[in-house]
Amino acid sequence: MPITVPASWIYAAAVGIRNRGFDRGRNVWKADLPVISVGNLTLGGVGKSPMVAWIADLLIRQGHAPVIAMRGYMARPGEMADEHAEYLDRLEGIKVVASPDRTGALKSFLSDNTQIDCILLDDGFQHRYIHRDLDLVLIDATRNTLRDRLLPQGRLREPLVNLQRADVVIITHAIATDDLISAHVERYHHRPPLAWANHLWSHLRVFESSVEEKHCEVNWIRGKGVVTLLGVGNPETIHTQLHEAGAKVLANIPAGDHERYDRAKINVVKGLCGGADILFMTAKDWVKARELIDLSSWPVPIVVPHLTMDVFSGAMELQEKILSTVESFAPHPSGKPDR
């Protein structure tokens, strides 16, 4: 028997003990504002950041003032985490609180920012120290999440049965609804997915020497030789999108999820761009790498896709859930048990 099997049993027991404490409301803070959590069950990227941005944009367009609360994973002292910087780039005027102690940081922030009327928890499904009024869980259609195993044997952070704790399940990286995935979700969640979404590139941001940032249509990349730098949890989906856009991936420079780049790494990247037409990276990579790159001496244009969340099924139902949660919110009465 592989050692990961009994290790998964121990992990499952620890997760169960932890969740039973939260189920009883132990050490859970209830804010005086509505809280919407966006999370997932597995390690690696499933599209949480684009979904949080999609929700924040919806709320802002409806006249609300959200704050995004996140851990700030891999942030160096005195610096922003990549996703923190990406939110600020993407959403004009958005407020972001980033701290491993999200409860303490939010309490301090909200005392000085009374205009805020709702909280978005980024990667909040396992962060149960904050009560949530709407719990959204994302499942990646391109991965075998619903047949996966617990850590360390598999990639699951907690058992699939814990989907019953979620209010809504959303399938991401999907190109169509899928009856088999829906049936698997219903088995554990007791309801089918509410919404299905795909990640689309609305346009490409192009950065090159002596030229201001320009926007190009996605088909601009067709036929071009591409070197990729993708410090994300699921780079395979990006390579698939590049292939579908007609690009030729010449090389992929390995990068860890949330990797913090330094000048040595960027010099290696620069040296590997010879013979390529462009260097392709995500917005999460660009916000970290841009301070280290001198565009005046960079050998090829750098291309960053503008990622949008296309909720192609269940969009109206999802919007209604989100807006009704915020607009019909009433402060929690003391003693109300947490889920």
Encode pLDDT of 199-245 as tens digits: 999 999 999 986 789 999 999 999 999 999 999 888 888 999 999 99
- Same domain for 157 and 42, yes or no, is yes
- Answer whether 5's CB lies under 8 Å from 150's CB: no
pLDDT value of residue 333: 57
pLDDT value of residue 220: 97
- Same domain for 81 and 157, yes or no, is yes
* Among 133, 200, 171, CA closest to 314: 171
Domain that holds residue 226: 201-306
Asked whether residue 336 is domain-assigned, the answer is no
CATH number at residue 189: 3.40.50.300
pLDDT value of residue 338: 44
Tokens 């959200």 belong to 66
Asked whether residue 118 is domain-assigned, the answer is yes
pLDDT value of residue 1: 58
pTM over 0.75: yes
- Same domain for 245 and 144, yes or no, is no
**CA geometry: angle at 227 spanning 225 and 229, to 5°?**
155
pLDDT value of residue 116: 97
pLDDT value of residue 336: 44
* Among 136, 129, 167, 168, CA closest to 31: 129
Asked whether residue 112 is domain-assigned, the answer is yes
- Same domain for 126 and 232, yes or no, is no
Asked whether residue 33 is domain-assigned, the answer is yes
> Rounded mean pLDDT of 121-134?
96
Asked whether residue 269 is domain-assigned, the answer is yes
- Same domain for 15 and 104, yes or no, is yes
pLDDT value of residue 339: 42
- Same domain for 31 and 82, yes or no, is yes
- Same domain for 16 and 142, yes or no, is yes
- Same domain for 185 and 40, yes or no, is yes
b/e code 126-155 from CB counts within 10 Å (16+ = b): bbbebbbbbbbbbbbbebebbebebbebbb
pLDDT value of residue 4: 77
- Same domain for 292 and 216, yes or no, is yes
Asked whether residue 335 is domain-assigned, the answer is no
- Same domain for 223 and 169, yes or no, is no
Helix axes 315-327, 48-61, angle to 10 degrees: 60
pLDDT in tens, 77-122: 777 888 999 999 999 999 999 999 999 999 999 999 999 999 999 9
Mean of pLDDT over the chain: 92
* Among 281, 282, 257, 287, CA closest to 269: 281
> Rounded mean pLDDT of 273-282?
95
Q: Does residue 64 come out as left (phi exceeding 0), alpha (psi in the -120 to 50 range) or beta?
A: beta
Asked whether residue 28 is domain-assigned, the answer is yes
**Model confidence band, residue 144 (pLDDT cutoffs 50, 70, 90):** confident
Separation between Cα atoms, residue 290 and residue 146, nearest integer Å:
38
Q: What percent of the chain stands above pLDDT 70?
A: 96
pLDDT value of residue 332: 57
- Same domain for 84 and 100, yes or no, is yes
Q: Which residue has the higher pLDDT, 152 or 163?
A: 163
pLDDT in tens, 290-335: 999 999 999 999 999 999 999 999 999 999 999 999 999 876 554 4
- What tokens does 238 get? 């990006």
Asked whether residue 76 is domain-assigned, the answer is yes
As for how many domains the chain has, the answer is 2
- Same domain for 160 and 221, yes or no, is no
